[in-house]
Amino acid sequence: MNIIVCVKQVPAKDAALVIAGNWIRESDISFEINEPDTFALEAALRLKEEHGGEVVALTLGPAHAAQVIKEALAKGADRGIHVTDERSHELDPLVSARALAAAVRAERFDLILTGLQSDDHGFGQTGVLLAALLGLPHVTIVMHIEVQDGRLRLKRELEGGWFQWLECPLPAVLTIQSGINKVRYATLKGIMAARKKEIVSVSRESLSAGEPTQRMERLYVPQKSKKTAFLSGAPKDVAAQLVEKLRFEARAI
């Protein structure tokens, strides 16, 4: 089974973020693999161990994003594809998915795995859009994967503590829920072997993925404030005042 797993480099969880324009100052922070993507990678490696084939790590990002591919190779992925873009943080999910789709069209694959969403932007749309662009079936929030007679039997999480079992043909795209498995660590042997594995770099511009369809107008830290308002009068009047404040001041309804 040939599997492509999308991994993204994001700021480390303990990084002290400093806003610089419409993004953060990256020179002052460390980076790591997006946590949901680590579970997708582990799922891909386990499927490879059970059914054979290869695992290809795919990322989109600046030059330093190659580190997440190296980590994936150290854990057991066979090779990597790096779609380079020094301004990748400005891309919306559609353009990102177009670039990833263009990069994998030349590949032979049975399955594409992504994390449910990224820890930085958190749109949760790239995997779904990737499936649509490739014309493949997709399943989201996957909690369990079984391969049976060339088809997938999947368990996905729903709202309210419910789960759903379904079948899906191959090839397909799955977005993986965090906690689906226990993520492995890279071994010293794996780290040494990763140095000999192939990483192919291709620029996003060469893939004709188009320009962003949306832009970020402003990035800022929310202002913390407290305010108390006392409402008086008849119950009917108080209710009307409360609804007005919730609608126009708190914007909660």
Distance CA 138, CA 124 (A): 13
Residue 176 lies in a domain: yes
Q: Is residue 251 part of a domain?
A: no
Q: Report yes or no on 253 lying in a domain.
A: no
For the chain, 253 residues long, give each residue's pLDDT as a single digit of tens. 999 999 999 988 888 888 877 787 887 888 999 999 999 999 999 999 999 999 999 999 999 999 999 999 999 999 999 999 988 888 899 999 999 999 999 899 999 999 999 988 888 999 999 999 999 999 999 999 999 888 999 999 998 889 999 999 999 999 999 999 999 999 999 999 999 999 999 999 899 888 888 888 888 887 887 778 888 899 999 999 999 988 888 778 8
Rounded Cα distance, 190 and 71, in Å: 9
Into how many domains does the chain fold? 1
Does this model's pTM top 0.85?
A: no
Cβ atoms of 116 and 136 within 8 Å: the answer is no
Yes or no: say if 168 and 152 are a contact pair by the CB < 8 Å rule: yes
Domain of residue 124 covers 2-207
201: nearest Cα among 120, 82, 72, 70: 82
CATH number where 80 lies: 3.40.50.620
Query: Environment class of residue 248 by beta-carbon count within 10 Å: exposed (0-12), middle (13-18) or buried (19+)?
Result: exposed
DSSP 161: G
Specify if 85 maps to a domain.
Answer: yes
231 within some domain: no
Within a domain: residue 11?
Answer: yes
| 98 found inside a domain | yes
